[in-house]
Every structure is written in structure tokens, then in C-alpha cells.
């Protein structure tokens, strides 16, 4: 791996870790989710990076892809299980990391299961060895703790300006015949749940990404699309970021931009049976025989 590239991967990981830990420190009873999201974003910018994606602040049975809406007044309650999933971009070199906190309480068994699964999965990251070794260890750890791994979520490859590069790492065994890459970055991302272990799309969407240049009818829609391409490239962005820049009328443009094929949606994901969900995640850099957890 080129030494300059490696330096940027490591810097993105360091900043992602700081942002994650800062978010954890803000997770107090009564705190608005919107305040936490904005503070995390400002933290990443203050450290010299950009957001790799909007801070995901998913609560209880919501597993992923929830970032606060424009004007969101949701506040944390005691006992909420809050997943804080964040990432930094240093010239397109990315990190992706997550942790779960119990608001106003101590880490519970569900959270420990996901945290332990992350650590046991990372121990199986060996270049050229089966990805299934990672998956089976994650599944074993979570099931041994008395919970279910979420079968249709998992880790993934990370590329430059590409948050979900090819190389899915399932959280259950027997579903990947691929091997661990010998160079690059991957994310290990266990989810544990008290439910049946499957997530489904909800109707809510607050995160989007540029997909393809397509004809757009409205002038405002064209302005939004040009801004998105320039500012975020193909990385995910929050609808509220666009509303804050272009005004409330911009909210009306999203349906058309998705319908035209210009933008893709990331639906908020919920555990199908309503089970509580915990998540932990690290980014891992692989360079030959060297394996470095960049977000630890």
C-alpha cells in the first residue's frame, strides 16, 4: 500500500474514533438527537476531515440508517439503546465505526454480545483466509450470549469515496465463499438483537446518495444534484443538510430526484419483530501481513 494512502486511512480512523467517543459522551437523558448529530459533524470538521456519512443515531429496535430530520425534536430517554455509527473522510479515505450505549445506565448483556462479537471477529481477520471464519465467530459469540445476530446486516469493504465496497462480511456463518483481501480496508460490524434477527425497510428515509446523472426537470432539483455531486461525490448525505442549505422547498425535490434515478435512498432499518438491537463496528486496514484496527 502506498505510504501516503496508508497515512490517510489511519488518519480517517483516528478521527472516526474521536467522533464516536465524543458522541458517546453526549448520549445523556433528555439530549436531542439533532444536537448530538450536529456536534459529531462539527467535531469531525474541527479535526480536519469531512463526514463519510451522516451520523447514524438509531434507537432501540431501529438498527441503522436513522439520522435526525430537519427540526427533529426527538430526545433520548433513560434506558434507550442508542447506536452511534459515524465515519470520517480524509480526501476520500474513509473510516466507519460504531458503538452502543444504554442511556442513563450500564452496558447490558445485549451490548456486550455485540462488542465481544466484534473483538472475536477481528481476531479472524487474516489476509487470504475465508471470510466465513469471521462470520462464524461473530455468530457463535452472539448466540452463546443468548441473542440473535442480524442475518441480513454485516461488515463490508471500504474504498476511496466508497463506503460499501464489494466484500460483504455476513454476521452468520455459511454465507460467504470469499477470502479476506490482502490489501485495503474492511469494516467488521456485528449486530445483536433480542428479536428474530432480521431487519426490514421502514418507510422513513433521511439519508441519500448520488447515483447517476439523469435529466432533472426543476431548476432547484438541478442545483441540488450539482451540489451533491461536488460536495459528497457518491458518499451518503443527510436530507437535512440539503434543507439547511437550500430551504424547506428542497424537501419536495427528493421524490423526483429518486424517481429520475439521480439519487438512491437508504431506508431506516428496523428489526422485523421489534427486538432491541445493539451494534459495534471497527474499520480494519490490511497491508500484506499487517492488520491494523484504525478506529480502536
Cell of 284: 480494519
**3 state SS for 138-170:** HHHHHHHCCCEECCCCEEEEEECCEEEEEEEEE
**3 state SS for 67-131:** CCCCCCCCECCCCCEEEEEECEEECCEECCEEEEEECCCCCCHHHHHHHHHHHHHHCCCCCCCEH
Residues 104, 13 share a domain: yes
Residues 214, 180 share a domain: no
pLDDT at 91: 97
Residues 284, 153 share a domain: yes
Residues 229, 262 share a domain: yes
Domain tally, the chain: 2
Residues 155, 219 share a domain: no
Task: Render each residue's pLDDT in the chain as its tens digit; 296 residues.
Answer: 899 999 999 999 999 999 999 999 999 999 999 999 999 999 999 999 999 999 999 999 999 999 999 999 999 999 999 999 999 999 999 999 999 999 999 999 999 999 999 999 999 999 999 999 999 999 999 999 999 999 999 999 999 999 999 899 999 999 888 999 999 999 999 999 999 999 999 999 999 999 999 999 899 999 999 999 999 999 999 999 999 999 999 999 999 999 999 999 999 999 999 999 999 999 999 999 999 999 99
Closest residue by Cα to residue 76 from 105, 44, 99: 105
Residues 254, 196 share a domain: no
Residues 136, 85 share a domain: yes
Active site residues: 85, 96, 156, 164, 189, 281
Range 210-213 contact pairs with CB under 8 angstroms and sequence separation of 24 or more? 210/234, 210/262, 210/263, 210/264, 211/261, 211/262, 211/263, 211/264, 212/261, 212/262, 213/262
Give me the CATH number covering residue 260. 1.10.10.10
Residues 213, 282 share a domain: no
Query: pTM above the 0.85 mark?
Result: yes
pLDDT at 176: 85
Give me the CATH number covering residue 173. 3.90.230.10
User: Range of 209's domain?
Assistant: 205-268
Residues 210, 194 share a domain: no
Residues 160, 240 share a domain: no
* N-terminal to C-terminal alpha carbon distance within the chain: 21
Residues 12, 71 share a domain: yes
Amino acid at each position: 500500500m502506498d505510504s501516503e494512502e496508508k497515512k490517510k486511512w489511519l488518519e480517517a480512523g483516528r478521527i472516526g474514533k474521536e467522533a464516536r467517543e465524543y458522541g458517546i459522551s453526549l448520549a445523556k437523558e433528555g439530549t436531542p438527537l439533532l444536537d448530538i448529530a450536529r456536534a459529531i459533524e462539527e467535531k469531525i470538521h474541527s479535526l480536519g476531515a469531512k463526514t463519510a456519512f451522516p451520523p447514524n443515531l438509531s434507537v432501540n429496535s431501529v438498527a441503522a440508517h436513522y439520522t435526525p430530520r430537519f427540526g427533529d425534536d426527538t430526545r433520548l430517554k433513560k434506558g434507550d439503546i442508542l447506536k452511534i455509527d459515524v465515519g470520517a473522510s480524509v480526501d476520500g479515505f474513509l473510516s466507519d465505526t460504531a458503538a452502543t450505549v444504554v442511556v442513563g445506565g450500564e452496558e447490558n448483556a445485549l451490548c456486550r454480545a455485540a462488542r465481544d462479537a466484534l473483538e472475536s471477529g477481528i481476531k479472524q481477520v487474516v489476509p487470504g483466509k475465508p471470510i466465513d471464519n469471521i462470520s462464524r465467530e461473530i455468530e457463535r459469540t452472539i448466540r452463546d450470549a443468548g441473542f440473535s445476530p442480524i442475518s441480513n446486516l454485516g461488515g463490508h469493504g471500504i474504498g476511496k469515496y466508497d463506503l460499501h465496497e464489494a466484500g460483504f462480511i455476513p454476521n452468520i456463518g455459511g454465507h460467504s465463499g470469499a477470502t479476506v483481501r490482502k490489501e485495503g480496508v474492511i469494516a467488521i460490524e456485528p449486530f445483536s438483537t433480542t428479536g428474530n434477527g432480521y431487519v426490514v425497510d421502514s418507510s422513513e428515509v433521511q439519508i441519500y446518495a448520488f447515483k447517476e446523472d439523469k435529466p432533472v426537470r426543476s431548476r432547484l432539483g438541478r442545483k441540488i444534484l450539482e451540489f451533491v455531486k461536488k460536495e459528497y461525490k457518491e458518499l451518503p448525505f443527510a436530507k437535512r443538510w440539503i434543507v439547511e442549505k437550500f430551504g424547506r422547498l428542497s424537501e419536495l425535490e427528493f421524490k423526483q430526484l429518486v424517481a429520475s434515478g439521480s439519487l438512491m435512498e437508504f431506508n431506516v432499518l428496523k428489526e422485523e419483530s421489534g427486538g432491541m438491537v445493539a451494534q459495534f463496528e471497527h474499520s480494519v486496514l490490511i497491508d500484506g501481513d499487517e492488520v491494523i484496527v484504525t478506529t480502536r
